[in-house]
Amino acid sequence: MSEKEDYLVGEFPFIPRQERAQQKRKALLESGQILFAAKGYEQTTAKEIAAHAKVATGTFYRYFSDKRQLLMALLEDEIDNFLAPEPHWFSSNPEFVLASLLETHANRLQKSGLYRVLPEILSKDLELAEVMQAARIRIHARILSGLQLIYEKGLTWRDLDLDILAWSIMILVENGHEKERQGGNRINYQELAKVICRLVFPPEVLEKLRNDGEA
Amino acid sequence: MSEKEDYLVGEFPFIPRQERAQQKRKALLESGQILFAAKGYEQTTAKEIAAHAKVATGTFYRYFSDKRQLLMALLEDEIDNFLAPEPHWFSSNPEFVLASLLETHANRLQKSGLYRVLPEILSKDLELAEVMQAARIRIHARILSGLQLIYEKGLTWRDLDLDILAWSIMILVENGHEKERQGGNRINYQELAKVICRLVFPPEVLEKLRNDGEA
Amino acid sequence: MSEKEDYLVGEFPFIPRQERAQQKRKALLESGQILFAAKGYEQTTAKEIAAHAKVATGTFYRYFSDKRQLLMALLEDEIDNFLAPEPHWFSSNPEFVLASLLETHANRLQKSGLYRVLPEILSKDLELAEVMQAARIRIHARILSGLQLIYEKGLTWRDLDLDILAWSIMILVENGHEKERQGGNRINYQELAKVICRLVFPPEVLEKLRNDGEA
Amino acid sequence: MSEKEDYLVGEFPFIPRQERAQQKRKALLESGQILFAAKGYEQTTAKEIAAHAKVATGTFYRYFSDKRQLLMALLEDEIDNFLAPEPHWFSSNPEFVLASLLETHANRLQKSGLYRVLPEILSKDLELAEVMQAARIRIHARILSGLQLIYEKGLTWRDLDLDILAWSIMILVENGHEKERQGGNRINYQELAKVICRLVFPPEVLEKLRNDGEA
DNA sequence: AATGAATGAGTGTTCATTCAT
DNA sequence: CATGAATGAACACTCATTCAT
């Protein structure tokens, strides 16, 4: 195959080593993602991934030390997607902004499908569990600091614990995409956003924000 | 159990057959629970469970047709514990009632530790996944009908979708026990209850309930 | 149970020990025969035999040292049935006599069904194979000596090797019952007897025997 | 095979892939044959076959889906050898022709030793049993049609049932090789052929055939 | 003598990983 | 670098046999 590319002067005689290698790596990653999402981690064998990526079994182990490492490489890129995105509250219509945030998040998850393996992995991979936990703490902290901002401006309920509030928001945002699967009708992100905003803004604040936005 | 029989004259020279058999079964169940919770389902072999219960491998298969069946026997007793308990809103202090509900639920879960395997199993065992889903739909329906009662009495927010509201409560209650593990300080159930109650009751309703209770 | 039999004077207070024991032994033998014939030797477990005989697993091992021994006990009684019965040639109608011999043999085999396990066992049990071989040698010798009698009287072909002849007869008689199963119509023992008699008697001798019988 | 490629300039630096793989497959087949013949089918484990072929257990399963399949592969090549070869009667010396047929058949069987497992398998493998039965029916039909030819020419006994006759020949030919094992001296194929020919040809026909051949 | 629960070695089979080519 | 055949430890599960009761 590569011989056919040789006869052109001035062209790359072949795809550079590294690039070709990276193509295989990429193919393996993609195949891993597809198969993990479809069949689960344990149920997918290294051989299958290699076959799906159209490389030999041994090649798998040139690019990844083992099956776990391939999964980690996949998760590395996605881990932040699994967690709740951070809502931004300053807007004339926070409910609407939040709703689209929720939808985007759900779509991202559904697309990769990889979140399906997470529960399977977390129970056996302490290291990954720690990474995830750290990420969640980060997310929680970010949501919390956002809440503190609006707290200082007197825009939020004064009788709720901000830490718990942040955690509740994180949980709801994180799980929003599951509603459909877990029981019931397709989720209405607009309504979920409304519920979350109720936890953050007293009704009169929400009203005021809208008016300010229009003005 | 057998201790109660000791005070009678003419003791049993040995533990009766059936009881001994049930002891082994129980030992296997306990070992299964401990090992599943500690290492995950797939990571635990039938041999290990048997060894931990101090019986031979074959004995495992006398009491359970396979590993899955042992797990199912364990879950059968616990499946309802995994899901959110149903909150009751009619009380002079719904926040307090809810807080103790949350705490009880969390303690139950932590004690068995079995909820840790659920995610792993649900991804592979379609049958169990369906059972769980059905249970969640039931819980959701119950929470929803509770909300409808107070909605009819005008005690709840009028601008929130009750279906989403019920779902949000379910998610928060279900995950409450996870807060500690997932990130941060030990959860304060009182504060979580407050957050949930905010979703249900406008502040003035809550105030009124308290006064009515005192009066 | 046996206590209830005590109150009658002059009766056996209970079935004698040995007899009861022999009943269990017999039941086990029967169950073994039925199950071995139906499912094969390896496919039948000691537990199954005990269950079928309505005794406990352990009881099996009181009466037989192991599964093999039960089989041997069964075969001991039947081994001669498996082999060709010895034909008797002196009769005014040897074909007819032989035909009923064949039929009796076939019926005996079909009834016990145990001959089905023989091939399975012979391949793994050298000892039994030797016993069988010895029995065949005995049968062969007996058939041979029968042939020698009529040879001396000039009643048989003079150009056939009597040893081979005896062997051929043994094989045909032994396998007669299989014809039906192996391919084809139900065997006609009369015709098979005719074929075998052709190997023994020249046609004119056969004719003469018939006439002498009538005379 | 590869030796033939050596005399060419530029030898293969190593045995080609495919050939090596086939060598392992062949080694496994051979080991299977040897062990099955020596110890029987059930008594031989896949692990043993692999060990005997000096490959790892897993390698066994690369070439054969299971033990049964290996056996089937072995039998596929041999199944026709197990059955009686078809005698041809038109010859100036049918006894001699038949004798060498018998001997060739016996040698083929003794060489592979595989026929020893047949009885064991047939009792458990319905599919194979059917294949064998079909083969026997075929053989029987062929022998029968051969007999019909000579019957039409008036060369055979007129008072024997051709169907039974064909069956008897098949049985004798099929079992000829067993005589040695089952009891007695090494079989004299010449004499067995004589016996079988007696069933087919009246003595005077046999005589005539010889004279015609000489003329 | 009888029971049947308990034993544990042994089976077929899979799959992550290695390594000769 | 790539290949894919080879490896062998590990697993779920069975069953002949033993043994406490």
**Cα separation, C64 vs B55, whole angstroms:** 28
The stretch D77-103 carries a mean pLDDT of: 85
B139 neighbors B68 (Cβ within 8 angstroms): no
Q: What average pLDDT is seen over chain D?
A: 84
A78 neighbors A112 (Cβ within 8 angstroms): yes
Instruction: Report if residue A3 sits inside a domain.
Output: no
Query: Residue B69: which nucleotide is closest by CA–C1'?
Result: F12
pLDDT band of residue D161 (cuts 50, 70, 90) is very high
Q: What average pLDDT is seen over chain A?
A: 84
Whole-number distance in Å between A58 CA and E18 C1'? 9
Q: Which of these ranges, A9-23, C168-182, D56-70, has the smallest mean pLDDT?
A: A9-23
The stretch D15-44 carries a mean pLDDT of: 82
**Same domain? A156 vs A203:** yes
**Same domain? A121 vs A179:** yes
**Same domain? D114 vs D141:** yes
Cβ <8 Å between C194 and D163: no
Instruction: Report if residue A110 sits inside a domain.
Output: yes
**Same domain? C37 vs C86:** no
C128/D contact by beta carbon, under 8 A: no
Q: By residue range, what is the domain housing residue C88? A: 77-214
B119/A contact by beta carbon, under 8 A: yes
pLDDT band of residue D171 (cuts 50, 70, 90) is very high
pLDDT band of residue C180 (cuts 50, 70, 90) is low
The residue among C202 and A6 whose pLDDT is bigger is C202
> DSSP class of residue D116?
G
**Cα separation, D196 vs D193, whole angstroms:** 5
Q: What percent of chain B has pLDDT over 90?
A: 48
The residue among A143 and B178 whose pLDDT is bigger is A143
For nucleotide F15, give the residue with the nearest CA to its C1'. C45
Cβ <8 Å between D183 and C117: no
**Same domain? C187 vs C104:** yes
Q: Chain E positions under 7 Å from a protein CB?
A: 1-21
Please state, in angstroms and as integers, the Cα–Cα distance from residue A17 to each residue in A1, A2, A22, A28, D13, following that order. Answer: 15, 12, 8, 17, 28
* pLDDT (tens digit per residue) in C117-153: 887 888 778 888 888 888 889 899 999 999 999 999 9
Q: Do chains B and A have 3 or more beta-carbon pairs under 8 angstroms?
A: yes
Residue D76's pLDDT is 83
Q: What average pLDDT is seen over chain B?
A: 84
* CATH number, position A115: 1.10.357
Instruction: Report if residue C71 sits inside a domain.
Output: no
Residue B97's pLDDT is 93
**Same domain? A43 vs A149:** no
**Is the pLDDT reported for residue B214 higher than 70?**
no
Cβ <8 Å between A123 and B137: no
* pLDDT (tens digit per residue) in A78-122: 887 787 788 889 888 999 999 999 988 888 888 888 888 888 888
Residue D4's pLDDT is 39
Question: What single letter denotes the amino acid at residue C134?
Answer: A
For nucleotide E11, give the residue with the nearest CA to its C1'. D45
**Same domain? C98 vs C55:** no
Give the torsion sign (CA, D130, D131, D136, D139).
positive
Instruction: Report if residue A1 sits inside a domain.
Output: no
- Closest chain C residue by Cα to residue D181: C133
Chain B CB contacts of A185 under 8 Å are 163
Chain B CB contacts of A43 under 8 Å are 124
Chain A CB contacts of B189 under 8 Å are none
Which residue in the set D122, D140, D199 is minimally distant from C184, CB to CB? D140
Instruction: Report if residue C155 sits inside a domain.
Output: yes
* pLDDT (tens digit per residue) in B11-48: 444 455 566 668 899 999 999 999 998 888 989 999 99
Q: Chain F positions under 7 Å from a protein CB?
A: 1-21
Of the candidates A31, A64, A97, which is a domain's last residue? A64
**Same domain? B54 vs B137:** no
B13/A contact by beta carbon, under 8 A: no
Q: Which of these ranges, A193-197, B51-55, C82-86, D191-195, has the smallest mean pLDDT?
A: C82-86
- Closest chain B residue by Cα to residue A188: B164
Residue B95's pLDDT is 92
Cβ <8 Å between C184 and D42: no
CA distance D6 to chain C (A): 45
Which residue in the set D120, D171, D188 is minimally distant from C120, CB to CB? D120
For nucleotide E7, give the residue with the nearest CA to its C1'. B56
**Cα separation, A86 vs A74, whole angstroms:** 22
B158/A contact by beta carbon, under 8 A: no
Residue C8's pLDDT is 39
CA distance C161 to chain D (A): 6
Which residue in the set D161, D179, D199 is minimally distant from C191, CB to CB? D161
**Cα separation, A68 vs A45, whole angstroms:** 11
**Same domain? B85 vs B35:** no
**Is the pLDDT reported for residue A52 higher than 80?**
yes
CA distance C165 to chain D (A): 7
For nucleotide E18, give the residue with the nearest CA to its C1'. A58
Instruction: Report if residue C54 sits inside a domain.
Output: yes
Domain count, chain D: 2
Residue A79's pLDDT is 81
**Same domain? D36 vs D60:** yes
B79/A contact by beta carbon, under 8 A: no
Tokens standing for D37?
A: 């013949």
A145/B contact by beta carbon, under 8 A: no
Cβ <8 Å between B119 and A124: no
Instruction: Name the CA dihedral angle for C64, C66, C71, C76, rounded to a multiple of 10 degrees.
Output: -50
Which residue in the set A120, A163, A192 is minimally distant from B164, CB to CB? A192
Residue A4's pLDDT is 42
Tokens standing for A173?
A: 């945002």
Neighbours of chain B (3+ CB pairs under 8 A): A
Using H for helix, E for strand and C for coil, what is the string for chain A?
A: CHHHHCCCCCCCCCCCHHHHHHHHHHHHHHHHHHHHHHHCCCCCCHHHHHHHCCCCHHHHHHHCCCHHHHHHHHHHHHHHHHCCCCCCCCCCCHHHHHHHHHHHHHHHHHHHCHHHCHHHHHCCCHHHHHHHHHHHHHHHHHHHHHHHHHHHCCCCCCCCCHHHHHHHHHHHHHHHHHHHHHCCCCCCHHHHHHHHHHHHCCHHHHHHHHHHHHC
Taking alpha carbons only, the member of B40, B167, B172 closest to residue B106 is B172
For nucleotide F6, give the residue with the nearest CA to its C1'. D59
Residue A18's pLDDT is 64
Question: Collapsing DSSP states into helix, strand and coil, what is residue D50?
Answer: helix
**Same domain? C41 vs C83:** no
Cβ <8 Å between A163 and B175: no
Tokens standing for B54?
A: 């101090």
**Cα separation, D12 vs B10, whole angstroms:** 88
**Cα separation, C25 vs C197, whole angstroms:** 43
* CATH number, position D21: 1.10.10.60
Residue C16's pLDDT is 54
* Backbone phi, psi, residue A121, to 5°: -75, -45
Residue B13's pLDDT is 43
* pLDDT (tens digit per residue) in C82-93: 877 888 898 889
Q: Do chains C and B have 3 or more beta-carbon pairs under 8 angstroms?
A: no
Q: Angle CA(B19)–CA(B23)–CA(B29) in degrees, nearest 5?
A: 140
* pLDDT (tens digit per residue) in D128-139: 888 888 888 989
Cβ <8 Å between C195 and D165: yes
Which residue in the set D40, D179, D195 is minimally distant from C124, CB to CB? D40
The stretch A131-150 carries a mean pLDDT of: 91
**Same domain? D16 vs D44:** yes
Write the burial class of residue C39 (CB in 10 Å: 0-12 exposed, 13-18 middle, 19+ buried).
middle
Whole-number distance in Å between A155 CA and E11 C1'? 71
Residue D153's pLDDT is 93
Cβ <8 Å between A124 and B39: yes
Q: What length does chain B have?
A: 215
B106/A contact by beta carbon, under 8 A: no
Chain C CB contacts of D124 under 8 Å are 40, 42-43, 120
Q: What average pLDDT is seen over chain C?
A: 85
Instruction: Report if residue B156 sits inside a domain.
Output: yes
A191 neighbors B161 (Cβ within 8 angstroms): yes
Tokens standing for A159?
A: 């009788």
Question: Collapsing DSSP states into helix, strand and coil, what is residue D81?
Answer: helix
Write the burial class of residue B76 (CB in 10 Å: 0-12 exposed, 13-18 middle, 19+ buried).
exposed
Q: Which long-range contacts (CB under 8 A, 24 or more apart) does A22-26 make?
A: A24/A53, A24/A55, A24/A59, A24/A63, A25/A63
* pLDDT (tens digit per residue) in C29-54: 999 999 999 888 888 999 999 999 99
Write the burial class of residue A60 (CB in 10 Å: 0-12 exposed, 13-18 middle, 19+ buried).
buried
**Cα separation, B164 vs B176, whole angstroms:** 18
Q: Angle CA(D27)–CA(D30)–CA(D35) in degrees, nearest 5?
A: 120
Residue A185's pLDDT is 55
- Closest chain B residue by Cα to residue A185: B163
Chain A CB contacts of B135 under 8 Å are none
Please state, in angstroms and as integers, the Cα–Cα distance from residue C39 to each residue in C30, C64, D123, following that order. Answer: 14, 20, 9
Cβ <8 Å between C191 and D119: no
* Backbone phi, psi, residue A39, to 5°: -120, -5
Q: What percent of chain A has pLDDT over 90?
A: 47
Whole-number distance in Å between D64 CA and E17 C1'? 21
Q: Angle CA(A183)–CA(B99)–CA(A151) in degrees, nearest 5?
A: 90
Rg (C-alpha) for chain D, rounded Å, is 22
Instruction: Report if residue C69 sits inside a domain.
Output: no
**Cα separation, A99 vs D98, whole angstroms:** 93
